[in-house]
């Protein structure tokens, strides 16, 4: 996969599992969400009950899965992990719900991508701990009500606004995950380095943090690549210099842009004079799918103030010209 892409696979999954904080105290940053969750969980424990349903919103890699596991651990409950796209039919959801143990945490990633019938079944399950299982077809179909044990649903989504209001309203608490500040990422990196048994200087951690796009998953991934470099080309110690060289080898620049981000910007600047240009045209120019450009590259470029989405198309900002060391054509607004 891509070095800073959003999806985790293979070695990535195993590596991530090893670096997951196990309780709220170990979880770095997100002071608001941490305090709010701490209250919700403490109160539920004191009542001897099940925690209210929790919605976590935020970009990929900010710690939503990790927090769901922490919720289960803090409640002393088992956890089941699935995702919206994995639930094709309401029957798939019924099977999962009816096999939950009392107090179990059900983590539903990308909950906004669930099918409509499954979503409607979920409403009733969340509110009344009950589902109607439909048996048969056509006029002879009957709904058989099934009682569920109380459980805690932890839903995750990139944006809470993507959820239909009836679903959003059924969560007792919504935690909004923010991008991490550089100092917080440095703490994540130092913590991971200890677990990986790698020596990282403060300068090395700062260098990696600055290129990690505010995202712990990316910080951990870059740390592993810098470790590889330090091991093969150096003495194994991750210094500021080793980190900078390693990330140059892996084509992650000093602002965290990777190859895809840079090729999108370069096409926009060099082929289209900074825009405006349509998304499809831009995607063809860099040889990528529309969705890849829109969902993988653009959010970060927009956040960094390098690209703007306008009704007339994609436009480069003056900062984009400066970042690539190019001179904007005369007449470009500064
Ligand atoms: P999400 O579910 O939001 O995509 P994950 O929970 O899978 O993100 O986190 C991705 C990786 O980043 C995991 O390996 C996890 O250990 C690490 N991570 C995320 N948030 C934190 C944090 N607050 N402190 C330490 N590590 C974190």
What's the predicted TM-score (pTM) here?
Answer: 0.89
Angle at 34 between CA 29 and CA 37, to 5 degrees: 160
Q: How far is the CA of 30 from the centre of ligand 1 (A)?
A: 11
Q: Which residues are annotated as a binding site for ATP?
A: 19-20, 61, 64-66, 127-129, 170, 180, 217
How many Cβ atoms are within 10 Å of 55's Cβ, its own excluded? Answer: 23
pLDDT (tens, 9 = 90+) of the chain, 334 residues, equals 455 544 556 677 788 888 999 999 999 999 999 999 999 999 999 999 899 999 999 999 999 999 999 999 999 999 999 999 999 888 899 999 999 999 999 999 999 999 999 999 999 999 999 998 888 888 888 888 899 999 999 999 998 888 999 999 999 999 999 999 999 999 999 999 999 999 999 999 999 999 999 999 999 999 999 999 999 998 989 999 999 999 999 999 999 999 999 999 999 999 999 989 999 999 999 999 999 999 889 999 999 999 999 999 999 999 999 999 999 888 766 5
pLDDT at residue 6 in the model: 46
On the CB side of 132, CA atoms within 13 Å amount to: 11
**What is the position in ligand 1's atom list of the atom closest to the CA of 63?**
6
How many Cβ atoms are within 10 Å of 26's Cβ, its own excluded? Answer: 11
Q: Torsion angle of alpha carbons 315, 317, 322, 325, nearest 10°?
A: 0
115/144 Cα distance (integer angstroms): 21
CA nearest ligand 1 atom 16, residue? 20
Tell me the torsion sign for CA atoms 213, 219, 221, 223: positive
* Contacts with 124 (C-beta within 8 Å, 6 or more apart), sequence order: 130, 131, 132
Residues touching ligand 1 (Cβ under 6 Å) are 16, 19-21, 27-30, 60-66, 188, 216-217, 220
Cβ atoms of 208 and 243 within 8 Å: the answer is: yes
């Amino acid at each position: 996969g891509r070095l800073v892409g959003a999806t985790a696979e293979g070695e990535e999954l195993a590596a991530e599992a090893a670096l997951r904080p196990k309780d709220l105290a170990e979880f770095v940053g997100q002071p608001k969400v941490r305090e709010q969750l701490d209250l919700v969980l403490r109160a539920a424990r004191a009542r001897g009950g099940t925690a209210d349903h929790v919605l976590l919103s935020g970009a990929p890699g900010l710690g939503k899965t990790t927090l769901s596991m922490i919720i289960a651990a803090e409640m002393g409950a088992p956890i089941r992990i699935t995702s919206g796209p994995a639930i094709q039919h309401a029957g798939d959801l019924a099977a999962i719900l009816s096999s939950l143990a009392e107090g179990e945490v059900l983590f539903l990633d990308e909950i906004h991508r669930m099918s409509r019938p499954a979503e409607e079944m979920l409403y009733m399950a969340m509110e009344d701990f009950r589902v109607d299982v439909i048996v048969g077809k056509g006029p002879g179909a009957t709904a058989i009500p099934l009682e569920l044990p109380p459980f805690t649903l932890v839903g995750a989504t990139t944006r809470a606004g993507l959820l239909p209001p009836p679903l959003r309203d059924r969560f007792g608490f919504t935690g909004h995950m923010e991008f991490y500040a550089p100092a917080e990422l440095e703490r994540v990196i130092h913590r991971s380095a200890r677990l990986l048994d790698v020596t990282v200087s403060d300068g090395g951690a700062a260098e990696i943090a600055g290129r990690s796009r505010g995202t712990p998953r990316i910080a951990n991934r870059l740390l592993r690549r810098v470790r590889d470099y330090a091991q093969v080309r150096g003495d194994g110690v991750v210094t500021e210099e080793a980190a900078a060289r390693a990330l140059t080898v892996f084509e992650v620049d000093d602002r965290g842009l990777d190859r895809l981000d840079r090729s999108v910007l370069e096409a926009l600047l060099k082929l289209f004079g900074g825009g405006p240009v349509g998304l499809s045209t831009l995607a063809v120019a860099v040889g990528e799918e529309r969705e890849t450009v829109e969902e993988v590259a653009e959010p970060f470029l927009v956040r960094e103030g390098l690209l703007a989405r306008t009704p007339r198309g994609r436009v480069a900002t003056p900062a984009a010209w400066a970042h690539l060391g190019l001179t904007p054509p005369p007449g470009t607004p500064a």
